[in-house]
Structure 1
Amino acid sequence: METSKVIHAIYTDDDVLMNAVKTVRSEKHHIEEIYTPFPVHGLDKAMGLAPTRLAITAFLYGCLGLAVAIWMMDFIMIKDWPQDIGGKPSFSFLENLPAFVPIMFELTVFFSAHLMVITFYMRSRLWPFKSAENPDPRTTDDHFLMEITVRNNEEALATLLKSTGAVEINIVDKNEDAH
């Protein structure tokens, strides 16, 4: 049976937290999650997290938006319903390209932005009406919480965390919190 106990180490300073993360990782302990009231620069690297691939998806979504814009303008303005606007007939897409550039730009940004938000929410598992998973409400104000999985090493881990500057250490059973 897999253990569901975790240690919550609470810190009151982000610099102390950064040093604690480096110390805990150097001791080969796995940090499950860190809850902070604001973004802490360099925390992802200190935790050993892989770089995000969201920028790649943003580029792909932008390319999709550009392709949709080109197809849409070619179909609507050239093939389906060509119009004589200001004395300039729509004979071909390339002849009208300068007029289409703003539309292409806007749809590129629109697709990239909207699909990135949807991707971020899905990747973060943030569904509508989802209840918060924050283990301690103080982390939305002025405290930092490091969550570490316990593997029959509670005392040694608690001693290590105290030495890193944790102001409070709690051992929590995640199964009890889920019910």
Structure 2
Amino acid sequence: MSNTKYILGHFEDPDVMMHGIEKLQENNIKIYDVYTPMPIHGIEDKLGIKRSRLPIAAFCFGTTGLLLGFSMIYYMLVYDWPMNIGGKPPFAMPDFVPVCFELTILFASYGMMFTFFYANHFFPGRAPRVMDLRATNDRFVIAIDAKTNPYPDKINSLLNEAGAIEILHNERKYVSYE
């Protein structure tokens, strides 16, 4: 048991897996993570995962794009090269709206993409971190840290009672694709 880092409980059905999560939490067993091949509604609340801060990053990137667009147009049309077009003043706000809007959307979308890639370690040339490869296909996997939960027999029996079809004692943190 000293080499075991994670205990993996495999499930075929998401409802049975949710029941397994409840059963483990009732017995005060801390769940490291859950791997699923598809999104499951309500699993974040059940596991106690905090709300993502990605919208805050999107707002900051969007504000940066808005300020950059506004300052760029102001510098070009008012300060550097003021032109009298049709008798309108150089600082006509309705003319600024389309460019500011487009730069807001551009900066927010690209900023969110890069932030998401950075937060989830999706770098070019990096292999994906997957606890078990079958979790990307057809299995629902509950991973339990064996070091913080010192009773593997109790965990095995709880997973069996919950309907796990397979229980693995993983010695490595992640499986590589090679």
Q: TM-score range by the shorter chain?
A: 0.7 to 0.9
What's the CA shift string for 1:59-106, capped at 9, x where partnerless? Answer: 121111111111111011211223455x355x432xx21121111111
What's the offset of the Cα at 1:152? 2.6
State how far apart, in whole Å, the 2-side matches of 1:171 and 1:70 are: 57
Alpha-carbon separation, structure 1, partners of 2:175 and 2:49: 26
Deviation at 1:40, TM superposition (A): 0.7
Question: TM-score, normalised on structure 1?
Answer: 0.87
**3-state SS of paired residue (1:174):** coil
Q: Name structure 2 gaps, 5 residues minimum.
A: none
**Residues 48 and 3 (structure 1), Cα distance of their counterparts in 2 relative to 1, 3 Å cut:** farther
Q: Which one of 89, 93, 96 corresponds to residue 97 of structure 1?
A: 93
**2:104 partner amino acid:** T
In structure 2, do the counterparts of structure 1 residues 68 and 175 end up closer, same or farther at CA, with 3 Å as the change threshold? closer
TM-score by length of 2: 0.88
Q: Hey, what's the Cα distance between the residues in 1 that align with 2:144 and 2:158?
A: 12
Instruction: State the secondary structure of the residue aligned to 2:122.
Output: coil
Alignment of structure 1 residues 141-156 onto 2, 5 Å? 141-150=137-146, 151-156=149-154
Q: 1:176 to 1:40 in 2, by over 3 A?
A: closer
Provide the aligned C-alpha RMSD in A: 2.1
Matches within 5 A, 1:59-138: 59-85=59-85, 87-88=86-87, 91-93=89-91, 96-138=92-134
Q: Structure 1: any 5+ residue segments left out of the alignment?
A: none
- Aligned equivalent of 2:25: 25
